[in-house]
Chain A
């Protein structure tokens, strides 16, 4: 099981008190994967949230004619897996390790139960997740701007 001290290293839990981190730590375990490990598949029931410590994970989807397209990669400090939090609780993309990866894996059914039971835990946890999501949204929007494109293309 992961220690609360290890969790303190993740910005995601900055708003939690030490006892709250200890609660979360009860759902956490250290995991390690080799290159090419499928962590989850698009369409499958979503369970589990990975806090990446080292290595790179690709988020991809299948596009007929283009094959497996890597739409995003995550690295150390990133949160992988959100779809467990809200309905329909299915993965929207497929996640595969790109090289060796080590992470902290949260058991999300238990985590949701703890959060439902104690809003004082659930709220700061949600805010932490929201902060990550917001940064993700902002960088995705930046990619949509196609800033590196040439004026000739417009």
Chain B
């Protein structure tokens, strides 16, 4: 594989221009509506230079940094799933007796600034939507055309916990190029790791120089050091097993007192994939269409059956979401569904923290096993 290289700040602008010239639609972070928003960019000038993020349960604010870093912020509310698995997509139309699949314009996205957590999320979506017996053709085509520029995290956010989920902060496989941003006496530059032949080819067309081993070690070290500075972490237990044993935990009723079942967590989560179908006709009834749109297991009729829903209570719906994400996902898809990005924590209106809930579940299980009083008991 190609050796690591160094791109200057203007080298990054050149990378963007080259990708656009090759026909990619470059999606990157931008500042809009007081948040970091993933959008199509036309140049590096649109990147969020000097913007950072303060995040905490139920809280997300932009803050001005003291430097001009373009990747010095943690994730915004959206994830890359909206481009690979769009919120709404037409599936087919029907006229007369026949059904015609919807034509999709082939699109090639270049994702710029994909963090380790989000890279792991794209891989997970690949298993869910592309790895089964009936793969989602639209997802597969979008992913096949993808060029991924990952970003190594050196400043984890307040809600981040990728390290304890084993997904970061160092980007795993799946990128074409990975950039680790450095701003110091050596200037504003990026140490570039090459992850694919396509990445090597694109890099070869840019002005760059080889990275010294000191630069490589320093960049790697900064990313690895980030692992020790996570905003929070999952407890070191077998979470899959913990949830299997917690079906009747008193925690669910307690969370239900706080959870609004608004579904924000499912919208911002980079791996939540559930959809529903919507059928419609025109006024004559001759032309019919089906679309697919994002759905959430928090919706009241998500589990509709025989005149009512199976999961009616907020407690059962919260239990479903967290159990699927961290436990039954293993049974269904062979791994965890959570990548530790923390978006669900920041964007929960009441600040429910998935790591705190799992920690509490572990505590409750331990106290029930040892026969002590339930710490949740009121005196």
- Identify whether the interface residues of B are mostly helix, strand, loop, or mixed: loop
Tell me how many residue pairs across A and B have CB atoms closer than 8 Å. 5
Tell me the minimal C-beta distance from B309 to chain A in angstroms.
Answer: 12
Task: Tell me the complex Cα distance, A82–B306, Å.
Answer: 38
Interface check B307, CB cutoff 8 A:
yes
Count chain A residues whose beta carbon lies closer than 8 angstroms to a beta carbon of B.
3
A151 contacts the other chain (CB 8 A): yes
> B306 — which chain A residues lie within 8 A by C-beta?
151
Q: Output the least CB separation between B53 and chain A (Å).
A: 48
Interface residues in A111-154 (C-beta closer than 8 Å to B): 151-152, 154
Q: Cα distance A154–B308 when bound, in Å?
A: 10
Considering the chains assembled together, what is the distance between the CA atoms of A136 and B302 in angstroms?
Answer: 37
Encode B279-310 as 1/0 by CB contact (under 8 A) with A: 00000000000000000000000000011100
Distance of B340 from chain A, by nearest CB (Å): 42
Determine the distance from Cα of A152 to Cα of B308 in the docked complex, in whole angstroms: 11
Chain A residue contacts of B307, Cβ below 8 A: 151-152, 154
Cβ < 8 Å to A, chain B residues 303-321: 306-308
Question: With A and B bound together, what is the CA distance between A154 and B307 in angstroms?
Answer: 8
In Å, the complex CA distance between A94 and B277 comes to 56
Complex contacts, A152 vs chain B, CB 8 Å: 307
A151-B308 Cα distance, complex, nearest whole Å: 8
Nearest CB of chain B from residue A154's CB, rounded to whole Å: 6
Q: B308 to chain A: which residues have CB within 8 Å?
A: 151
Whole-angstrom CA separation of A151 from B306 in the bound complex:
6
A interface residues with partner B (beta carbon < 8 Å): 151-152, 154
Binding site for A on B (CB under 8 A): 306-308
Q: Which 4 residue pairs across A and B have the least CB separation, nearest first?
A: A151-B307, A151-B306, A154-B307, A152-B307
A-B contact pairs, 5 of them (CB 8 A): A151-B306, A151-B307, A151-B308, A152-B307, A154-B307
